[in-house]
C-alpha cells in the first residue's frame, strides 16, 4: 500500500545538490536584515502567545482540582473562566499582529527579490534570451519568488515559535509531574518518525508538482501567445496541441493526487497515534491518581492539552531539516539568476556620449555566436562618415544582422572594436549610447497598449505636439485619427489589430520621436501592398535624412540612394562602393543584383511604360 503511493525511491529523498552551508544561509538571512525591527516585533508576539498558550492548561488543572476538592466559592470559578477567556482574546489579538508583521516582512522580501531578479534579467544580453525559455524566466520571477512567503512564515519564524512553545511546555510539564513528563517523552518517537518521513515525501512531491506546473505554464505561454496561436492556426495543429496539453495536464493531475494521498495516509496514522498517545498517559495517570502520585487535574491537563503542545512543535522541529533544505533549494534557484554574469557590462569609468556626430567604424571585428560553426563576422573593418547612408547587402547568413546587433551593443565582439565618433562603444555608458541609436526592426513589435503609449515609449516626456509631428512625418497621423479612439486606441498584442504597413509606420514614428543620430533599419517592405509600401518609402526618406544610417537593403531604391554599399559574404566584407562601380566589377554584388534586384528594376520599368 505504501509503495503504491510513491513512498519509495527518489520520491522520499531530500532535495539534491542543496546542503546547509553557511555562505548560503548567510546570504538568505541578509534579506531579513533591513527588517530586523519588525522581526523583533514578531519574536515578542511569539513569546507572548507562547506564554498565554499555557494559561488554558493551568486553568484546567486548577479548575478540576478545585472542583474535586471540598468546599469552594463560585466566584473563584468565575475568575478562572474570566482569565481563560481574556487570555484567549489577548492571544488572538497578538496572533493577528504577529501574522500581519510576518506577512509584511515576507511580502517586503518578495518585493526586494522581484526587483533584483527583474533588474538582473532585463540587463542580460540578447544572447541570454535566445537560449532561455521565456516560461522558465517567468516561473522564477513569479512561482519561485512567491514561495518565499512560506519560507518566512513556515520556516524562519516557525522555528522560533516551536522552540519557545516546546521549551515553555516542557518547563510546565516537569513542574506539574516529572513522572508523566518522562512517559510523554517515551511516546514521542511514535509521532516524530512518521512526521519526518512524510515531510520528506511531501516536499519531493511538491517539488515535482511545481516543476510540472512550470512546464505547463511555459507551454501555454508559447502556444497561447499571439505569435504561437497564429502558427497553430496556420499549420492546423489544434488537435496536436490539445493532446500535448492533455498529457501535461494528466501528469500534473497524477502528481497532485499523489501529493494529496501522502497527506491523507499521514493524517490517518496520526489519528491513530493521537488516540494511542493520550491513552498511555491516561493509563499511567490513572495509576498515579489512584496511588496519590498526582492530582486528577494534572492528569487531565497532560492528556488533553500539554501533550498536543508537546507533540506539535516536536513534529515540526523534526521536519525542520526538510523545510530548511526545501527553502534553500528555492533560494538557490533564485540566486542562480541573481548571480548571472552580465555579458554586456558597463565599465565603472564609462563616459557619457553627448550629442553624437554619427561616425561609425568597425575595426577588425570578429564575432561568433554561441555554438556557431563559424564566425558570423570575420576580421571585418569599415568606416561610415556622419550622415552617410550605408546599404548592407549579402546572402542570408552573410553577417548583415550581426552588424546591426553589435553597433547598439546587443553583443560584444570577441576580437576588434566598434566605434562611434572615435570612441570604443565599450567605453561608453549603455544609456548614452542607446539614446544615439534608433532601430526599426523587420519584425515590428508593438505593446498591447494604446497608439499613444507605443509612440511615447521612445520618449515619455514628449509633448502632444511632438508626438503628432512624429506621426505626421511617418504618414500615420491621418490613419490614427480615423480610429474610434484616435491615439488612445488599443493596438492589440504585438500590434496585431493593425496591418503590417500601419505597424511599420507606427514604428517609424516612434523612432522619429526618439530623434537619434544613428539609424539602423531592416527595410522590409516586400510583403506590403503598393500603397503601404509607397507611404513607408516616403516616411523612410524623411527619417533617413541627415542621419547616419545602416540599412539592410531589400529594395533597389535604397541601394541606389546609398552613399556606399557594403557587400558581405560569410562574415567578410568582400566588396564596397556605389551601385554602378560594384556592378561594373562583375563580382558578388553583380550576381546578387541579377538574382534579387534586377527583377524589381524590370518590373518598375514595365509599370512606367
- pLDDT, tens digit, for every residue of 191-202? 666 666 666 676
- In 3D space, the residue among 444, 411, 427 whose CA is nearest the CA of residue 342 turns out to be 411
Q: Which three cell numbers stand for residue 494?
A: 504585438
What integer pLDDT is reported at residue 226 of this predicted model?
Answer: 66
What integer pLDDT is reported at residue 274 of this predicted model?
Answer: 63
- Please check whether residues 287 and 396 belong to one and the same domain: no
- Please check whether residues 49 and 133 belong to one and the same domain: yes
Inside any domain, residue 353: no
Q: Which of 303, 338, 373 is the last residue of a domain?
A: 338
Does 505 or 225 have the greater pLDDT score?
Answer: 505
For residue range 324-370, what is the model confidence (pLDDT) as tens digits? 666 677 787 788 888 888 888 888 889 998 888 989 999 999 999 88
* Average per-residue pLDDT for the chain: 81
Q: Which three cell numbers stand for residue 153?
A: 512564515
Look at residue 564 and tell me whether its pLDDT is greater than 90: yes
Inside any domain, residue 416: yes
What integer pLDDT is reported at residue 130 of this predicted model?
Answer: 78
Inside any domain, residue 326: yes
- Please check whether residues 330 and 394 belong to one and the same domain: no
Q: 360-367 and 415-420: which strand pairing?
A: antiparallel
What integer pLDDT is reported at residue 12 of this predicted model?
Answer: 34
Inside any domain, residue 344: no
Report the predicted TM-score, pTM, of the whole model to 2 decimal places: 0.74
Inside any domain, residue 138: yes
Q: Which of 308, 338, 368 is the last residue of a domain?
A: 338
CATH code of 197's domain? 1.20.1560.10
Q: Which three cell numbers stand for residue 195?
A: 512526521
- In 3D space, the residue among 140, 135, 598, 588 whose CA is nearest the CA of residue 393 turns out to be 588
Inside any domain, residue 538: yes
- In 3D space, the residue among 412, 393, 444 whose CA is nearest the CA of residue 346 turns out to be 412
Q: How far is the C-alpha of 106 from the C-alpha of 536, rounded, in Å?
A: 52
- Please check whether residues 290 and 186 belong to one and the same domain: yes
Q: Which of 338, 372, 390 is the last residue of a domain?
A: 338
- Please check whether residues 184 and 315 belong to one and the same domain: yes
Q: Which residues of 390-427 are buried (b: 16+ CB within 10 A; e: fewer)?
A: bbbbbeeebbbbbbbbbbbbebbbeebbbbbbebebbe
Round the CA-based radius of gyration of the chain to a whole number and report it.
Answer: 36
Count: domains in the chain:
2
Inside any domain, residue 43: yes
- Please check whether residues 230 and 149 belong to one and the same domain: yes
- Please check whether residues 308 and 393 belong to one and the same domain: no
- Please check whether residues 333 and 378 belong to one and the same domain: no
pLDDT level of residue 290 (50, 70, 90 thresholds)? confident
- Please check whether residues 173 and 71 belong to one and the same domain: yes
Q: How far is the C-alpha of 92 from the C-alpha of 227, rounded, in Å?
A: 53
- Please check whether residues 461 and 563 belong to one and the same domain: yes
Domain that holds residue 106: 19-338
- Please check whether residues 201 and 148 belong to one and the same domain: yes
- Calculate mean pLDDT across residues 492-509: 81
Inside any domain, residue 10: no
> Distance of CA 173 to CAs 303, 436, 530, Å?
11, 75, 91
CATH code of 426's domain? 3.40.50.300
- Please check whether residues 326 and 449 belong to one and the same domain: no
Amino acid at each position: 500500500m505504501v509503495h503504491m503511493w510513491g513512498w519509495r525511491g527518489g520520491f522520499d529523498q531530500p532535495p539534491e545538490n542543496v546542503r546547509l552551508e553557511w555562505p548560503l544561509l548567510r546570504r538568505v538571512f541578509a534579506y531579513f536584515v533591513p527588517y530586523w525591527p519588525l522581526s523583533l516585533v514578531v519574536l515578542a508576539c511569539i513569546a507572548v502567545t507562547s506564554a498565554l498558550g499555557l494559561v488554558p492548561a493551568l486553568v484546567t488543572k486548577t479548575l478540576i482540582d478545585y472542583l474535586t476538592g471540598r468546599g469552594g466559592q463560585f466566584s473563584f470559578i468565575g475568575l478562572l473562566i474570566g482569565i481563560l477567556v481574556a487570555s484567549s482574546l489577548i492571544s488572538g489579538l497578538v496572533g493577528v499582529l504577529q501574522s500581519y508583521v510576518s506577512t509584511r516582512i515576507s511580502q517586503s522580501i518578495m518585493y526586494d527579490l522581484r526587483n533584483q531578479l527583474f533588474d538582473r534579467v532585463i540587463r542580460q544580453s540578447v544572447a541570454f534570451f535566445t537560449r532561455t525559455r521565456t516560461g522558465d524566466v517567468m516561473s522564477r520571477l513569479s512561482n519561485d519568488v512567491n514561495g518565499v512567503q512560506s519560507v518566512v512564515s513556515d520556516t524562519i519564524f516557525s522555528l522560533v515559535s516551536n522552540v519557545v512553545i516546546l521549551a515553555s511546555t516542557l518547563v510546565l510539564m516537569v513542574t506539574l509531574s516529572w513522572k508523566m513528563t518522562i512517559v510523554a517523552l517515551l511516546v514521542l518517537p511514535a509521532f516524530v518518525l512518521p512526521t519526518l518521513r512524510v515531510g520528506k515525501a511531501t516536499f519531493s512531491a511538491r517539488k515535482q508538482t511545481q516543476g510540472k506546473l512550470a512546464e505547463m505554464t511555459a507551454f501555454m505561454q508559447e502556444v497561447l501567445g499571439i505569435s504561437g496561436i497564429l502558427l497553430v492556426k496556420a499549420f492546423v495543429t489544434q488537435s496536436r496541441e490539445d493532446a500535448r496539453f492533455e498529457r501535461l495536464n494528466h501528469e500534473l493531475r497524477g502528481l497532485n493526487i499523489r501529493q494529496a494521498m501522502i497527506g491523507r495516509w499521514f493524517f490517518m496514522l496520526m489519528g491513530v497515534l493521537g488516540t494511542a498517545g493520550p491513552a498511555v498517559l491516561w493509563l499511567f495517570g490513572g495509576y498515579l491518581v489512584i496511588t496519590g502520585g498526582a492530582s486528577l487535574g494534572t492528569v487531565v491537563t497532560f492528556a488533553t492539552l500539554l501533550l498536543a503542545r508537546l507533540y506539535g512543535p516536536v513534529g515540526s522541529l523534526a521536519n525542520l531539516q526538510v523545510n530548511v533544505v526545501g527553502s534553500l533549494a528555492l533560494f538557490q534557484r533564485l540566486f542562480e539568476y541573481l548571480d548571472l554574469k552580465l555579458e554586456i557590462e558597463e565599465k565603472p569609468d564609462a563616459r557619457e556620449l553627448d550629442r553624437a556626430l554619427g561616425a561609425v567604424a568597425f575595426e577588425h571585428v570578429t564575432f561568433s555566436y554561441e555554438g556557431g560553426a563559424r564566425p558570423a563576422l570575420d576580421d571585418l573593418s569599415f568606416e561610415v562618415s556622419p550622415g552617410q547612408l550605408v546599404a548592407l547587402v549579402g546572402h542570408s547568413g552573410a553577417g548583415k544582422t550581426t552588424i546591426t546587433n553589435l553597433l547598439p551593443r546587443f553583443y560584444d565582439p570577441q576580437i576588434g572594436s566598434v566605434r562611434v565618433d572615435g570612441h570604443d562603444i565599450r567605453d561608453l555608458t549603455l544609456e548614452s549610447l542607446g539614446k544615439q541609436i534608433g532601430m526599426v526592426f523587420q519584425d515590428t513589435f508593438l505593446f498591447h497598449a494604446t497608439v499613444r503609449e507605443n509612440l511615447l515609449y521612445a520618449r515619455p516626456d514628449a509633448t502632444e505636439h511632438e508626438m503628432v509631428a512624429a506621426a505626421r512625418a511617418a504618414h500615420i497621423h491621418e490613419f490614427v485619427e480615423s480610429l474610434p479612439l484616435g491615439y488612445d486606441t488599443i493596438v492589440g498584442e504585438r500590434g496585431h489589430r493593425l496591418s503590417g504597413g500601419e505597424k511599420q509606420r507606427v514604428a517609424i514614428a516612434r523612432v522619429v520621436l526618439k530623434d537619434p543620430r544613428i539609424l539602423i533599419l531592416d527595410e522590409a517592405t516586400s510583403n506590403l501592398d503598393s500603397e503601404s509600401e509607397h507611404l513607408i518609402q516616403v516616411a523612410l526618406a524623411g527619417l533617413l535624412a541627415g542621419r547616419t544610417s545602416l540599412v539592410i537593403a531589400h529594395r533597389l531604391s535604397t541601394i541606389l540612394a546609398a552613399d556606399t554599399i557594403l557587400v558581405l559574404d560569410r562574415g567578410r566584407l568582400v566588396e564596397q562602393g556605389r551601385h554602378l562601380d560594384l556592378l561594373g566589377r562583375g563580382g558578388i554584388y553583380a550576381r546578387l543584383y541579377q538574382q534579387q534586384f534586377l527583377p524589381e528594376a524590370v518590373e518598375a520599368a514595365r509599370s512606367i511604360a
